Amino acid sequence: MSEIFFYNFSGRNQPDYSKTDFNTMYAVDGVILRTGRHLPRPETAINSVDLGGAVVLPAFADAHVHFTQTGITLMGCRFDAATSINEVTDAIKAEADKNYHVLGWGLQEVTLKERRLPTLEELDRACPDNFVWLARKDLHSAVVNSHALEWARSFFPSLRTEKGLIKAEEYNFLCYQLNSQLPAEFKKQALKMAEQECFKKGVATVHALEGTLESTDDTLALSDFLETSPLHGVIYHQSPDPTLPLQKGWNHMGGCLLVDGSIGTRTAAMHEPYADAPGNLGNLYLSAEKIEQLLKTAHDNNLQLALHAIGDRALDTVTACHTWASERLPATTLPHRIEHFILPSDKAIRSVRKNSTMICVQPAFDHFWGGPSGLYAQRLGAKRAESCNPFKTLLSLGILLAGGSDSPVTPIDPLLGVKALVTHSNPEEQISLNQALSLFISEPHKLAGEEKFRGHLRTGYRADFVCLAGDPCTTPPAELSSLKITDLYIGAQKVY
């Protein structure tokens, strides 16, 4: 039996993370036995740990991570900070000297001085003898060279691209085919890198969205990895087939089962055309009939269903189907969840509230793409952009929100998410710091039905906690993402 006594810290809990709730804690076998102020050290506690006056919060959770993909992107070319196409081509030339497969991530035209993506011809000139696949930051499209395009056409012989840009359903299929071709040892290393990225950001729990209808390999590999990792993972197998979740005893299915695409790639399904692409309403990948069938499958097996939906047309479709299911099918133990929920109509919001649907939001999306001159405004126009990510509106109606990163689309970084919530580009949608912290501490566990033993530092809860060098409640909002995480404990054991 492992017994550990922690002392000399400021322990915080809901409902007010600004107050010291306790400063000593006793944990047995990874579970909190007792917390209090100046508790005496138990005679049976072999180990005592001085936390050095740190601010201690329950460990962070990230409710939306593409875990395997996150690790893979940490091992390739990153273009998040690239400012020109020359920088991109210089980077891939250097990578081409080391690897035949040149994989790049985080590409976005709005940060490049040319205000466009590199073309197939430019990639061919840079890497004429390599396979080049450069994914846009939203992971809904990629620009490729001729070798990669030839490979893509082995699956889609009539594939036509605009200057090498692959998007929509072809991209969705091909990106997972590409992952399946990567060596198993490479992907094992990727999983370890993703785990370490979580630890250094104070994350003890992830909801990992993995695999496809065509393959369970990545899902099973992650499941095996988590059996020996201190990291707690809730795995969503991204398939309409419930077989694997039922075999593994998981109470949920889906994940990023795409109802539509993304705003950046102009594939999120809209009622009105994109401001910078007249006539383009985006893509609706799943019809109402197909969503209803997914819901029936989920209800028949008592599984929560998670679906990706971003644009107002997609969200109206999904939420109408949820209402259909609530009126015709027996309830599931866990309510369904929607991933992203960026541009909901009033009708969709009313439906979510009525059906107790749970929402996983990505606050860093607003940090990177919100505001009057941001990507949302460029794609949608200022009026619609201001309506994106209405966090305060949703919380004020009692709708359950949990925070995620959608990593590798935005980084695993809960404190960045907290900053984005309290400094939302639309001041009317800014929320309090206590609410923001809860979205990355307690609320993710509710999405998975684990809130009775994770997300708080109280008797009977897991001793998962993060130590901060500063106090988020006295830190200026703009500086929240700079707070230093000094330690992370999972099950009372130090992992970072």
Taking only the tens place, the pLDDT of each residue in 85-96 is 999 999 999 999
Residues 189 and 149 in one domain: no
Same domain, 175 and 206: no
**pLDDT band at 44; cut points 50, 70, 90:** confident
381 is written with which tokens? 């126009």
Contacts by 238-244, CB closer than 8 A, 24 or more apart: 238/209, 238/210, 238/211, 238/212, 238/213, 239/211, 239/212, 239/213, 240/213, 240/293, 240/294, 240/297, 241/213, 242/297, 242/298, 242/301, 242/303, 244/211, 244/216, 244/219, 244/220
Same structural domain, 21 and 52: yes
Considering the domain boundaries, does residue 464 fall inside one? yes
In this structure, the answer to whether residues 463 and 490 fall within a common structural domain is: yes
The answer to whether position 64 is within a domain reads no
Whether 256 is covered by a domain: the verdict is yes
pLDDT of residue 217: 92
Separation of alpha carbons 14 and 455, rounded Å: 9
Q: Helix (H, G, I), strand (E, B), or coil: what is residue 328?
A: helix
Do 191 and 175 share a domain, yes or no? no
**What per-residue confidence (pLDDT) applies to 45?**
66
Boundaries of domain holding 330: 184-454
Yes or no: say if 338 and 315 are a contact pair by the CB < 8 Å rule: yes
Number of domains comprising the chain: 3
Number of Cα atoms under 13 Å in the Cβ half of residue 38 = 0
Cβ–Cβ under 8 Å, residues 370 and 110: no
Question: How far, CA to CA in Å, does 57 sit from each of 17, 18, 61, 457?
Answer: 8, 10, 12, 8
Cβ contacts of 26-29, under 8 Å, gap ≥ 24: 27/3, 27/463, 27/492, 28/1, 28/2, 28/3, 28/4, 29/1, 29/2, 29/491
Residue-level pLDDT at 9 = 98
Least confident among 37-51, 149-163, 424-438, 446-460: 37-51
pLDDT band at 76 (very low <50, low <70, confident <90, very high): confident
Pair 350, 342: CB distance under 8 Å: no
**Same-domain check for residues 86 and 101:** yes
The reported pTM is: 0.94
Residues 430 and 460 in one domain: no
Instruction: Give the pLDDT score at 16.
Output: 97
User: Collapsing DSSP states into helix, strand and coil, what is residue 94?
Assistant: helix
Indicate if 372 and 230 belong to the same structural domain: yes
Least confident of 71-85, 229-243, 459-473: 71-85
188 and 82 housed in the same domain: no
Q: Which of 1-10, 43-52, 167-176, 419-428 has the lowest mean pLDDT?
A: 43-52
Do 197 and 339 have their domain in common? yes
Mean pLDDT of 470-491: 98
Nearest to 206 by CA among 447, 15, 409, 415: 447
* Cis? peptide before 58, omega within 30° of 0: no
Looking at the chain, the whole-number percentage of residues with pLDDT higher than 70 is: 100
Torsion of CA 150, 152, 154, 157, to 10 degrees: -90
pLDDT band at 464 (very low <50, low <70, confident <90, very high): very high
Residue 344 lies in a domain: yes
Assess if residue 95 is contained within a domain.
yes
The pLDDT tens digits for 281-317 are: 999 999 999 999 999 999 999 999 999 999 999 999 9
364: nearest Cα among 342, 343, 337, 394: 342
Question: What is the C-alpha separation between 11 and 185, in angstroms, rounded?
Answer: 41
- Cα–Cα–Cα angle for 431, 436, 440, rounded to 5 degrees: 155
Would the pLDDT of 182 be above 90? no
The answer to the question of residue 305 being in a domain is: yes
Whether the per-residue pLDDT at 46 is higher than 80: the answer is no
Instruction: Write out the two tokens for 180.
Output: 């399946």
- What values do phi and psi take at 493, rounded to 5? -110, 135
For residues 286 and 311, the answer to whether their CB atoms sit within 8 Å is no
Residues 6+ apart with CB under 8 A from 356: 335, 400
The domain boundary residue, chosen from 131, 152, 180: 180
pLDDT in tens, 402-421: 999 999 999 999 999 999 99
In the predicted structure, residue 43 carries a pLDDT above the cut 90? no
Which CATH number belongs to the domain containing residue 476 in this structure? 2.30.40.10
What is residue 176's predicted lDDT score, i.e. its pLDDT? Answer: 86
- Mean pLDDT over 234-238 rounds to 98
Residue with tokens 């990225």: 197
Q: What integer best gives the mean pLDDT of the chain?
A: 96
Q: Does the residue 393 lie in any domain?
A: yes
Q: Is 205's pLDDT higher than 90?
A: yes
Confidence tier at 323 by pLDDT (50, 70, 90)? very high
pLDDT tens for 103-162 read: 999 999 989 999 999 999 999 999 999 999 999 999 999 999 999 999 999 999 999 999
Boundary (domain end) residue, out of 138, 154, 180? 180
Answer yes or no: do 165 and 272 share one domain.
no
Strands 141-144 and 304-309 come out as: unpaired
pLDDT of 215 higher than 90:
no
* Domain presence at residue 362: yes
Q: Considering only CA atoms, which of 389, 392, 380 is closest in space to residue 362?
A: 389
| C-alpha gyration radius of the chain | 23
Return the pLDDT at 331. 94
Residue that finishes a domain, picked among 180, 200, 224: 180
CA distance 217 to 232: 20
Q: Residue 130's pLDDT is what?
A: 96
Kindly state whether residues 339 and 465 are assigned to the same domain: no
What distance separates the 2 farthest-apart alpha carbons in the chain?
Answer: 74
CATH number of the structural domain spanning residue 156 = 3.10.310.70
